[in-house]
Structure 1
Amino acid sequence: MIIETERLYFRELLETDIRGVFSLDSDPEVHQYLGGNPIESAQQALNAIKFIRQQYIDYGVGRLAIIEKETNSFVGWGGFKLITDLTNGHKNYHDLGYRFLKTAWGKGYATESSKATVEYGFNKLKLPVIYAMADRGNLQSRKVLKKCGFIEKGLFDYDLVPHYWYELFNQSGV
Protein backbone atom coordinates (compact mmCIF):
# COMPACT_ATOMS: atom_id res chain seq x y z
CA MET A 1 0.00 0.00 0.00
CA ILE A 2 1.27 3.43 -0.91
CA ILE A 3 -1.67 5.54 0.28
CA GLU A 4 -4.47 4.46 2.59
CA THR A 5 -7.77 6.03 3.58
CA GLU A 6 -10.63 4.78 5.72
CA ARG A 7 -12.25 2.91 2.80
CA LEU A 8 -9.56 2.70 0.12
CA TYR A 9 -5.95 1.91 -0.48
CA PHE A 10 -3.63 2.71 -3.36
CA ARG A 11 -1.01 0.41 -4.84
CA GLU A 12 0.96 0.20 -8.05
CA LEU A 13 -1.04 -0.74 -11.11
CA LEU A 14 -0.24 -4.30 -12.15
CA GLU A 15 -0.78 -6.18 -15.38
CA THR A 16 -3.32 -8.25 -13.45
CA ASP A 17 -5.47 -5.07 -13.25
CA ILE A 18 -6.19 -5.40 -16.98
CA ARG A 19 -9.89 -6.29 -16.48
CA GLY A 20 -10.47 -3.35 -14.15
CA VAL A 21 -8.63 -0.90 -16.40
CA PHE A 22 -10.52 -2.19 -19.44
CA SER A 23 -13.88 -1.85 -17.64
CA LEU A 24 -12.95 1.67 -16.57
CA ASP A 25 -11.49 3.01 -19.80
CA SER A 26 -13.88 1.33 -22.24
CA ASP A 27 -16.90 3.04 -20.65
CA PRO A 28 -18.09 6.02 -22.74
CA GLU A 29 -19.64 7.68 -19.66
CA VAL A 30 -16.31 7.56 -17.81
CA HIS A 31 -14.74 9.24 -20.84
CA GLN A 32 -17.39 11.94 -21.17
CA TYR A 33 -14.96 14.66 -19.98
CA LEU A 34 -11.77 12.94 -21.12
CA GLY A 35 -12.01 13.57 -24.82
CA GLY A 36 -14.73 10.97 -25.44
CA ASN A 37 -12.27 8.38 -26.70
CA PRO A 38 -12.75 5.14 -24.72
CA ILE A 39 -10.47 2.19 -25.37
CA GLU A 40 -11.76 -0.77 -27.37
CA SER A 41 -9.50 -3.70 -26.48
CA ALA A 42 -7.79 -5.46 -23.62
CA GLN A 43 -4.49 -4.78 -25.40
CA GLN A 44 -5.10 -1.04 -25.08
CA ALA A 45 -5.72 -1.51 -21.35
CA LEU A 46 -2.49 -3.48 -21.03
CA ASN A 47 -0.62 -0.79 -22.97
CA ALA A 48 -1.97 1.85 -20.56
CA ILE A 49 -0.80 -0.18 -17.57
CA LYS A 50 2.65 -0.65 -19.10
CA PHE A 51 2.86 3.09 -19.83
CA ILE A 52 2.01 3.94 -16.22
CA ARG A 53 4.45 1.34 -14.88
CA GLN A 54 7.19 2.94 -16.99
CA GLN A 55 6.37 6.28 -15.34
CA TYR A 56 7.11 4.70 -11.95
CA ILE A 57 10.59 3.86 -13.25
CA ASP A 58 11.23 7.12 -15.14
CA TYR A 59 9.75 9.63 -12.67
CA GLY A 60 9.13 7.83 -9.38
CA VAL A 61 5.39 8.57 -9.60
CA GLY A 62 2.45 7.50 -11.71
CA ARG A 63 -1.24 6.84 -11.35
CA LEU A 64 -2.02 4.11 -8.83
CA ALA A 65 -4.70 1.44 -8.61
CA ILE A 66 -7.39 2.34 -6.07
CA ILE A 67 -8.76 -0.66 -4.22
CA GLU A 68 -11.93 -0.68 -2.14
CA LYS A 69 -11.01 -2.21 1.23
CA GLU A 70 -14.42 -3.76 1.93
CA THR A 71 -14.44 -5.83 -1.27
CA ASN A 72 -10.72 -5.80 -2.13
CA SER A 73 -11.84 -4.77 -5.63
CA PHE A 74 -10.29 -2.42 -8.17
CA VAL A 75 -12.53 0.66 -8.31
CA GLY A 76 -10.32 3.03 -10.30
CA TRP A 77 -7.00 4.79 -10.36
CA GLY A 78 -5.65 8.02 -8.94
CA GLY A 79 -2.61 9.86 -7.76
CA PHE A 80 0.05 11.85 -9.53
CA LYS A 81 1.44 12.00 -13.00
CA LEU A 82 4.50 14.05 -13.83
CA ILE A 83 3.49 16.10 -16.86
CA THR A 84 6.53 16.83 -19.00
CA ASP A 85 4.72 18.59 -21.86
CA LEU A 86 3.91 22.29 -21.74
CA THR A 87 0.35 22.69 -20.45
CA ASN A 88 -1.16 26.09 -19.70
CA GLY A 89 2.31 27.58 -19.32
CA HIS A 90 3.54 24.81 -16.98
CA LYS A 91 5.97 21.98 -17.60
CA ASN A 92 7.39 19.20 -15.42
CA TYR A 93 4.67 19.48 -12.82
CA HIS A 94 2.74 17.00 -10.69
CA ASP A 95 -0.85 16.63 -11.84
CA LEU A 96 -3.45 15.16 -9.49
CA GLY A 97 -5.94 12.93 -11.25
CA TYR A 98 -8.43 10.16 -10.64
CA ARG A 99 -10.87 7.99 -12.52
CA PHE A 100 -13.47 5.61 -11.09
CA LEU A 101 -15.71 2.84 -12.34
CA LYS A 102 -19.36 3.94 -12.49
CA THR A 103 -20.18 1.48 -9.69
CA ALA A 104 -17.97 3.62 -7.42
CA TRP A 105 -19.56 6.96 -8.36
CA GLY A 106 -21.50 8.84 -5.71
CA LYS A 107 -19.65 7.28 -2.76
CA GLY A 108 -17.28 10.17 -2.10
CA TYR A 109 -14.27 8.19 -3.28
CA ALA A 110 -12.98 10.99 -5.53
CA THR A 111 -12.79 13.45 -2.64
CA GLU A 112 -11.50 10.87 -0.15
CA SER A 113 -8.76 9.66 -2.49
CA SER A 114 -7.80 13.15 -3.68
CA LYS A 115 -7.41 14.48 -0.13
CA ALA A 116 -5.18 11.51 0.71
CA THR A 117 -3.17 12.06 -2.48
CA VAL A 118 -2.62 15.73 -1.61
CA GLU A 119 -1.47 14.78 1.89
CA TYR A 120 0.90 12.18 0.42
CA GLY A 121 2.24 14.70 -2.11
CA PHE A 122 3.00 17.34 0.48
CA ASN A 123 4.10 15.15 3.40
CA LYS A 124 5.88 12.24 1.69
CA LEU A 125 6.95 13.59 -1.70
CA LYS A 126 7.59 17.11 -0.31
CA LEU A 127 6.01 18.74 -3.36
CA PRO A 128 5.87 22.54 -3.20
CA VAL A 129 2.76 22.72 -5.39
CA ILE A 130 0.23 20.36 -6.97
CA TYR A 131 -1.76 21.16 -10.10
CA ALA A 132 -4.97 19.76 -11.53
CA MET A 133 -7.37 20.50 -14.33
CA ALA A 134 -10.98 19.72 -15.10
CA ASP A 135 -13.16 20.05 -18.16
CA ARG A 136 -15.38 23.13 -17.80
CA GLY A 137 -18.47 20.91 -17.94
CA ASN A 138 -17.28 18.44 -15.31
CA LEU A 139 -19.00 19.99 -12.30
CA GLN A 140 -18.35 16.97 -10.05
CA SER A 141 -14.58 17.06 -10.53
CA ARG A 142 -14.53 20.82 -10.07
CA LYS A 143 -16.36 20.37 -6.74
CA VAL A 144 -13.92 17.65 -5.65
CA LEU A 145 -10.90 19.82 -6.37
CA LYS A 146 -12.38 22.75 -4.45
CA LYS A 147 -13.19 20.47 -1.47
CA CYS A 148 -9.52 19.46 -1.47
CA GLY A 149 -8.42 23.09 -1.24
CA PHE A 150 -7.43 23.71 -4.85
CA ILE A 151 -7.75 27.25 -6.14
CA GLU A 152 -9.32 27.76 -9.56
CA LYS A 153 -6.94 29.88 -11.62
CA GLY A 154 -8.93 30.38 -14.80
CA LEU A 155 -9.87 28.72 -18.07
CA PHE A 156 -7.55 27.49 -20.80
CA ASP A 157 -7.95 25.29 -23.87
CA TYR A 158 -6.69 21.73 -23.51
CA ASP A 159 -7.00 19.74 -26.73
CA LEU A 160 -9.36 22.47 -27.98
CA VAL A 161 -11.71 21.97 -25.00
CA PRO A 162 -12.09 24.61 -22.24
CA HIS A 163 -10.67 23.39 -18.92
CA TYR A 164 -10.26 25.01 -15.53
CA TRP A 165 -6.73 25.11 -14.13
CA TYR A 166 -6.22 24.48 -10.41
CA GLU A 167 -3.29 24.84 -8.05
CA LEU A 168 -2.61 24.05 -4.44
CA PHE A 169 0.54 25.19 -2.66
CA ASN A 170 2.18 23.36 0.21
CA GLN A 171 1.57 25.59 3.24
CA SER A 172 4.13 23.83 5.46
CA GLY A 173 7.00 25.79 3.95
CA VAL A 174 8.67 22.80 2.31
Structure 2
Amino acid sequence: MDLILETKRLILRPLEISDADDMFAMDSNPKVHIYLGNTPFTTKEESIAYLNNVLQQYEQHGIGRFAMVTKDGNRFVGWCGLKFITEIENNHSHFYEIGYRLKEEFWGKGYAYEAAKKWYEYAFSNLKVNTLYASTHIDNKGSRRILEKIGLQLKNEYLWNKTIPCVWYASK
Protein backbone atom coordinates (compact mmCIF):
# COMPACT_ATOMS: atom_id res chain seq x y z
CA MET A 1 0.00 0.00 0.00
CA ASP A 2 1.64 3.25 -1.08
CA LEU A 3 -1.08 5.79 -0.28
CA ILE A 4 0.01 8.62 2.01
CA LEU A 5 -2.23 11.53 2.98
CA GLU A 6 -1.26 14.73 4.77
CA THR A 7 -3.04 17.26 6.91
CA LYS A 8 -1.68 20.45 8.42
CA ARG A 9 0.00 18.59 11.30
CA LEU A 10 -0.15 14.90 10.38
CA ILE A 11 1.10 12.33 7.95
CA LEU A 12 -1.39 9.51 7.44
CA ARG A 13 0.51 6.44 6.27
CA PRO A 14 -0.17 2.71 6.13
CA LEU A 15 0.31 0.88 9.39
CA GLU A 16 3.27 -1.49 9.54
CA ILE A 17 4.31 -4.35 11.80
CA SER A 18 7.04 -2.02 13.09
CA ASP A 19 4.22 0.04 14.70
CA ALA A 20 3.53 -2.82 17.14
CA ASP A 21 5.19 -1.14 20.15
CA ASP A 22 3.25 2.09 19.65
CA MET A 23 0.02 0.18 19.04
CA PHE A 24 0.56 -1.83 22.21
CA ALA A 25 1.31 1.32 24.21
CA MET A 26 -2.01 2.75 23.00
CA ASP A 27 -4.19 -0.36 23.24
CA SER A 28 -2.87 -1.56 26.60
CA ASN A 29 -4.10 1.67 28.22
CA PRO A 30 -7.42 0.91 29.99
CA LYS A 31 -8.59 4.49 29.41
CA VAL A 32 -8.34 3.98 25.64
CA HIS A 33 -10.69 1.00 25.93
CA ILE A 34 -13.36 2.52 28.19
CA TYR A 35 -15.77 2.80 25.24
CA LEU A 36 -14.51 -0.30 23.43
CA GLY A 37 -15.73 -2.96 25.82
CA ASN A 38 -13.05 -2.48 28.49
CA THR A 39 -10.70 -5.05 26.95
CA PRO A 40 -7.26 -3.45 26.76
CA PHE A 41 -4.50 -5.49 25.16
CA THR A 42 -2.32 -7.45 27.54
CA THR A 43 0.38 -8.64 25.12
CA LYS A 44 2.30 -7.19 22.20
CA GLU A 45 1.16 -10.21 20.19
CA GLU A 46 -2.39 -8.79 20.23
CA SER A 47 -1.06 -5.65 18.57
CA ILE A 48 0.79 -7.70 15.97
CA ALA A 49 -2.38 -9.69 15.24
CA TYR A 50 -4.33 -6.44 14.85
CA LEU A 51 -1.68 -5.07 12.48
CA ASN A 52 -1.74 -8.27 10.43
CA ASN A 53 -5.51 -7.88 10.12
CA VAL A 54 -5.06 -4.32 8.85
CA LEU A 55 -2.45 -5.47 6.31
CA GLN A 56 -4.95 -8.07 5.10
CA GLN A 57 -7.58 -5.32 4.70
CA TYR A 58 -5.14 -3.37 2.54
CA GLU A 59 -4.73 -6.39 0.28
CA GLN A 60 -8.41 -7.36 0.14
CA HIS A 61 -10.04 -3.93 -0.06
CA GLY A 62 -7.29 -1.46 -0.94
CA ILE A 63 -8.01 0.59 2.18
CA GLY A 64 -7.87 0.33 5.97
CA ARG A 65 -6.76 2.10 9.11
CA PHE A 66 -3.65 4.27 8.73
CA ALA A 67 -1.06 5.47 11.22
CA MET A 68 -1.26 9.10 12.29
CA VAL A 69 2.20 10.52 12.87
CA THR A 70 3.10 14.11 13.61
CA LYS A 71 4.95 16.07 10.97
CA ASP A 72 7.04 17.67 13.71
CA GLY A 73 8.88 14.86 15.42
CA ASN A 74 7.34 11.82 13.69
CA ARG A 75 5.45 10.86 16.88
CA PHE A 76 2.88 8.05 16.60
CA VAL A 77 -0.49 9.57 17.53
CA GLY A 78 -2.73 6.58 16.79
CA TRP A 79 -4.68 5.41 13.78
CA CYS A 80 -7.48 6.76 11.63
CA GLY A 81 -8.95 5.68 8.36
CA LEU A 82 -11.57 3.88 6.40
CA LYS A 83 -12.46 0.23 6.73
CA PHE A 84 -14.62 -1.79 4.38
CA ILE A 85 -16.94 -3.77 6.64
CA THR A 86 -18.28 -7.02 5.22
CA GLU A 87 -19.96 -8.30 8.38
CA ILE A 88 -23.42 -7.22 9.46
CA GLU A 89 -23.46 -4.28 11.86
CA ASN A 90 -26.64 -2.42 12.73
CA ASN A 91 -28.41 -4.15 9.82
CA HIS A 92 -25.76 -2.98 7.32
CA SER A 93 -23.02 -4.89 5.54
CA HIS A 94 -20.48 -4.15 2.80
CA PHE A 95 -20.01 -0.50 3.69
CA TYR A 96 -17.21 1.97 4.39
CA GLU A 97 -16.74 3.00 8.00
CA ILE A 98 -14.57 5.81 9.31
CA GLY A 99 -12.82 5.27 12.62
CA TYR A 100 -9.93 6.43 14.78
CA ARG A 101 -8.09 5.63 17.99
CA LEU A 102 -5.45 7.77 19.68
CA LYS A 103 -2.87 7.46 22.40
CA GLU A 104 -4.16 9.22 25.50
CA GLU A 105 -1.42 11.86 25.41
CA PHE A 106 -2.87 13.15 22.11
CA TRP A 107 -6.51 13.40 23.21
CA GLY A 108 -8.18 16.80 23.02
CA LYS A 109 -5.66 18.32 20.61
CA GLY A 110 -7.76 18.10 17.43
CA TYR A 111 -5.78 15.30 15.79
CA ALA A 112 -8.74 12.91 15.48
CA TYR A 113 -10.88 15.58 13.84
CA GLU A 114 -8.05 16.63 11.51
CA ALA A 115 -7.41 13.07 10.33
CA ALA A 116 -11.10 12.09 10.16
CA LYS A 117 -11.92 15.15 8.07
CA LYS A 118 -9.18 14.20 5.59
CA TRP A 119 -10.50 10.63 5.35
CA TYR A 120 -14.08 11.89 4.95
CA GLU A 121 -12.98 14.00 1.99
CA TYR A 122 -10.96 11.09 0.55
CA ALA A 123 -13.93 8.71 0.80
CA PHE A 124 -16.12 10.91 -1.37
CA SER A 125 -13.59 12.47 -3.74
CA ASN A 126 -11.34 9.46 -4.37
CA LEU A 127 -13.33 6.33 -3.50
CA LYS A 128 -16.64 7.84 -4.65
CA VAL A 129 -18.56 6.19 -1.81
CA ASN A 130 -22.28 6.86 -1.69
CA THR A 131 -22.56 6.79 2.08
CA LEU A 132 -19.95 6.77 4.82
CA TYR A 133 -20.84 5.27 8.21
CA ALA A 134 -19.43 5.38 11.73
CA SER A 135 -20.38 4.21 15.17
CA THR A 136 -19.28 4.99 18.67
CA HIS A 137 -20.25 4.21 22.24
CA ILE A 138 -23.37 6.13 23.19
CA ASP A 139 -21.50 7.90 26.04
CA ASN A 140 -18.40 8.84 24.02
CA LYS A 141 -19.17 12.55 23.69
CA GLY A 142 -15.78 13.41 22.20
CA SER A 143 -16.09 10.91 19.39
CA ARG A 144 -19.70 11.89 18.72
CA ARG A 145 -18.65 15.54 18.44
CA ILE A 146 -15.94 14.64 15.90
CA LEU A 147 -18.31 12.57 13.77
CA GLU A 148 -20.85 15.37 13.69
CA LYS A 149 -18.19 18.00 12.99
CA ILE A 150 -16.89 16.15 9.92
CA GLY A 151 -20.42 15.97 8.51
CA LEU A 152 -22.02 12.72 9.69
CA GLN A 153 -25.53 12.66 11.07
CA LEU A 154 -26.90 10.62 13.95
CA LYS A 155 -29.24 7.92 12.63
CA ASN A 156 -30.07 5.57 15.52
CA GLU A 157 -28.94 3.75 18.65
CA TYR A 158 -28.11 0.04 18.68
CA LEU A 159 -26.23 -2.63 20.62
CA TRP A 160 -22.83 -3.56 19.20
CA ASN A 161 -22.04 -7.23 19.80
CA LYS A 162 -25.41 -7.38 21.58
CA THR A 163 -23.92 -5.73 24.67
CA ILE A 164 -22.34 -2.31 24.00
CA PRO A 165 -24.76 0.63 23.56
CA CYS A 166 -23.71 2.57 20.46
CA VAL A 167 -24.90 5.30 18.17
CA TRP A 168 -24.88 4.98 14.37
CA TYR A 169 -23.89 7.82 12.08
CA ALA A 170 -24.12 8.22 8.31
CA SER A 171 -23.20 10.87 5.81
CA LYS A 172 -25.99 13.00 4.38
| TM class by smaller structure | over 0.9
Distance 2:21 2:29 in 1: 12
What SS is found at the alignment partner of 1:57? helix
- Correspondence for 1:33: 35
In the alignment, structure 1 segments of 5+ residues that lack a partner are 170-174
**1:97, distance to aligned residue in structure 2 (A):** 0.2
TM-score, normalising length: structure 2:
0.95
What SS is found at the alignment partner of 2:60? helix
Q: Choose from 116, 119, 137 the match for 1:135.
A: 137
- Correspondence for 2:57: 55
Q: Which amino acid aligns with 2:140?
A: N
TM-score, normalising length: structure 1:
0.94
Distance 2:105 2:30 in 1: 14
State whether structure 2 residue 81 is matched by structure 1 residue 79.
yes
- Correspondence for 1:172: none
State whether structure 2 residue 153 is matched by structure 1 residue 168.
no
Q: How large is the RMSD of aligned CA atoms in angstroms?
A: 0.9
Q: Aligned residue pairs: how many?
A: 169
In the alignment, structure 2 segments of 5+ residues that lack a partner are none
What SS is found at the alignment partner of 1:29? coil
Q: Which amino acid aligns with 2:119?
A: T
- Correspondence for 1:67: 69
Q: Choose from 100, 103, 109 the match for 1:101.
A: 103
- Correspondence for 1:43: 45
